[in-house]
Amino acid sequence: MDKVKARGRRFWDEWVRPLLIVALVLGSFRSAFADWNDVPTGSMKPTILEGDRVFVNKLAYDLKVPFTLWRLARWADPERGDIVVLFSPHDGKRLVKRIVGIPGDRLEMKERRLYVNGRPAEYQPADGAATPIEGAEFLRETVNGRTHLIMLTPGRPNFDSFEPVDIPAGKYFLVGDNRDNSFDSRFWGFADRESIVGEATAVALSVDLNNYWLPRWSRFFSRLE
């Protein structure tokens, strides 16, 4: 019996406890400092593709207690145009979306064109680059000097217009770059500041889900805009 206890103690000391410590350290790092997020849908096309794994900077705006949403320090707030990871107000799932409206903004959409504080966004035709999709239209959308690609797909279900909305304090309005195929603030409303866990800043790696999961080497370590 003593030998069994001794072996059990040795197994705990030499294997289990070190592995638990490593798991706790890595989990704490991913929870509070940096993480990744796999993207299974095309709601952020053409910026983010299905099969991308995006790097999430959890120190972009604040420092939280690991494994919680309790904030220890705050040094910035999300800005219009940021791509963020958040917990959905609809069902609590993690989402990747782009912020188009911040607290105090008045936001409106008319026939797929965005208006921020009464001023229309600027639109220019663009090449879809890594996302050749038949029938899709690619535009460069510029709001307050920040430009990014969006995709419009004629014939797809969409929410292409809404009346002006005033964004309350502590709330954000987020949409997908794939404007006709994104379940976002147009459907579930504002997101709380506390639900935003970090900024998605780059594609860490990418695989083609429709082509035997082959790597998309050109997307590895590419910056998100």
State whether residue 104 is helix, strand or coil.
Answer: coil
Does the active-site annotation cover 185?
Answer: no
Instruction: Give the whole-angstrom CA distance, residue 213 versus residue 216.
Output: 9
Question: Exactly one of 43, 182, 185, 206 is catalytic; which is it?
Answer: 43
DSSP state of 9: H
Beta bridge partners of 206: 52
Helix (H) or strand (E) holding 109: strand 106-110
CA atoms of 25 and 211, how far apart (whole Å): 36
Question: Is 97 known to be catalytic?
Answer: yes
Please name the residue ranges forming H helices in the chain: 2-11, 17-32, 185-188
Catalytic entry in 58, 97, 182, 206: 97
Q: Count CB atoms within 10 A of the CB of residue 177.
A: 22
Q: Which residue shows structure tokens 């107000």?
A: 89
Catalytic residue positions?
43, 97
